[in-house]
């Protein structure tokens, strides 16, 4: 499968593999699918019960930044202040393309999304 590798900075032919290879110490992940870059060895998981990647293959820094975004976004929509759909729609409108956390390719992009969420939180507080 063609997939973007953030580390190699190019589209690569991702090798479909299993959790047994990626996480040999985690038997609970053995049956999960992952795409691995044949050049650098980095990987991305797949949506549950599919072979569809969750996004592009991140670097460690991008992976950490994505986790921080989820830690900021998830409590916001789970609180009921805004629906998950409206949150993603708001971010997408600000970016000018359909946003998905797994498709962020750089830490800078994650930082920009963070600022968008900050702006939204301020507006939600004012209402």
**Segment 57-80, tens digit of pLDDT:** 999 999 999 999 999 999 999 999
Q: Is the pTM of this model over 0.85?
A: yes
Which pair of tokens denotes residue 100? 């998905």
pLDDT at 127 over 60: no
Neighbour-count burial of 14, counting CB atoms closer than 10 A to its CB (0-12 exposed, 13-18 middle, 19+ buried): buried
Query: H-helix or E-strand containing 19?
Result: helix 19-22
């Amino acid at each position: 499968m063609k997939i973007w590798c953030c580390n190699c900075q190019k589209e690569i032919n991702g090798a479909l593999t299993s959790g047994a290879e990626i996480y040999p110490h985690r038997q609970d992940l053995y049956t999960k699918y992952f795409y691995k870059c044949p050049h650098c060895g980095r990987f991305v998981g797949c949506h549950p019960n599919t072979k569809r990647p969750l996004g592009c293959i991140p670097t460690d820094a991008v992976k950490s930044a994505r986790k921080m975004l989820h830690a900021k976004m998830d409590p916001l929509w789970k609180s009921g202040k805004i629906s998950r759909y409206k949150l993603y729609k708001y971010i997408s409108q600000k970016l000018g393309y359909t946003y998905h956390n797994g498709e962020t390719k750089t830490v800078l992009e994650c930082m920009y999304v963070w600022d968008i969420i900050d702006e939204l939180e301020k507006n939600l507080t004012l209402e």
